[in-house]
Amino acid sequence: MKKKNKSAQIDLKALRALLKSVAHKTKSHNVVAAAMAVVVIIGLASSTPIQNYFKSQPSSAFGISEPGGNLPGSANYQIVIVPEVQTVASGNIAVYNITLLRQGGFSNPVILKTDLIGKVGIKSAMFNKGVLVIGADYTQLIVETLSGQSVNISHPFKVNGISTLNNKFVVRSDTAMLNIVVGPQDFVIDITPDVQTTAPGDMAIYMITLLRLNGFTGDVALTTNLDSMPGVQSVVINPSNLTGMVLTATLTVTTLYSTPDATNLFTVFGNTPNLNGSPAQRSDNATLVILSD
């Protein structure tokens, strides 16, 4: 049987006694609220005995007011999420506006937490500001969803605002809904750079990138019309067929040694035999400038 860490328990008891002593001697709720706010932040942000102690105690041990509970006195606060419902295709981002409404002179900092993290189809959920202080009572919750979902998903979720008031830990919350839907599969062809300049007899190299959207996994064959344009001797795309995890190719163009100046706007085409049940083509344009010295 493992021995308990007695020194950690003694320190925590001493800390709690100190807070009560400060409250008794100063009779100032603001001093205690500030001290307890520091304890909350330390406990939530790190894996310390303080955090473990909070987790092991019932809410009533600290006077925590659960969401929707009443606070003593007139001071209070409220968390508001807008919009209440959002629907996005898998792989896209949803943004919620979070506002802290202060009432009755409430001025303490409020720590924000959400239960969206770790849910199916959620890649990340982060606040622009994780702590709201007086004068800065607005932030955004940015939720990035995973691509390639095969079924629609709905997540009711909560944003909790944790703070202190009248010597007690308090929690206020609001709820919202995120619907993740399976969007139609698609793909995008991208060429970089947009423009290159080369001399007659020289080469230029472009990068072609395939972006797969909403779980698209089909093969994409690459072609171009650059080889038929003025001053162009040869064009090679390698590889000319993008499959599986191969998402990039190079286009190498060689110009004629003896050619007049030319500006060629060309296209790279990406063709797949099956996109949502039908053949499809996507494309992107770039420019090759042939310029004599």
Q: Rounded CA gap, 36 and 169, in Å?
A: 8
Domain boundaries, the chain: 7-61, 75-182, 186-290
CA-closest candidate to residue 289, choices 190, 223, 206, 204: 204
Assess contact for 154 and 48: CB atoms under 8 A. Answer: no
Count CA within 13 A, CB hemisphere, residue 226.
Answer: 31
pLDDT of residue 122: 95
Which SS3 state, helix, strand or coil, does residue 200 take? coil
Give me the CATH code for the 186-290 domain, please: 2.60.40.10
pLDDT of residue 129: 95
For 10, residues 6+ apart whose C-beta sits below 8 A from its C-beta are none
Q: What is the DSSP string of 234-290?
A: EEEEESSEE-TT--EEEEEEEE-SS---EEEEEEEEEEEEEETTEEEEEEEEEEEEE
Fold of domain 75-182: Immunoglobulin-like (2.60.40)
Average pLDDT over residues 83-87: 93
Mean pLDDT of the chain: 81
Q: What is the pLDDT of residues 3-38, one digit of tens each?
A: 444 444 445 455 455 444 444 443 444 444 444 444
Question: Is the pLDDT higher at 25 or at 145?
Answer: 145
| 103-133 per-residue burial string, b: 16 or more CB within 10 A, e: under 16 | eeebebbbbbbbebeeeebbeebebeeebbe
Q: What is the pLDDT of residues 164-222, one digit of tens each?
A: 988 899 999 999 999 998 877 889 999 999 999 999 999 999 999 999 887 788 999 99
pLDDT of residue 179: 93
Which SS3 state, helix, strand or coil, does residue 214 take? coil
Q: Rounded CA gap, 138 and 101, in Å?
A: 9
Query: Per-residue pLDDT for 51 more than 50?
Result: no
Residue in the block written with tokens 């779980």: 215
Tokens of 59: 């809410």
Is 75-182's fold the same as 186-290's?
yes
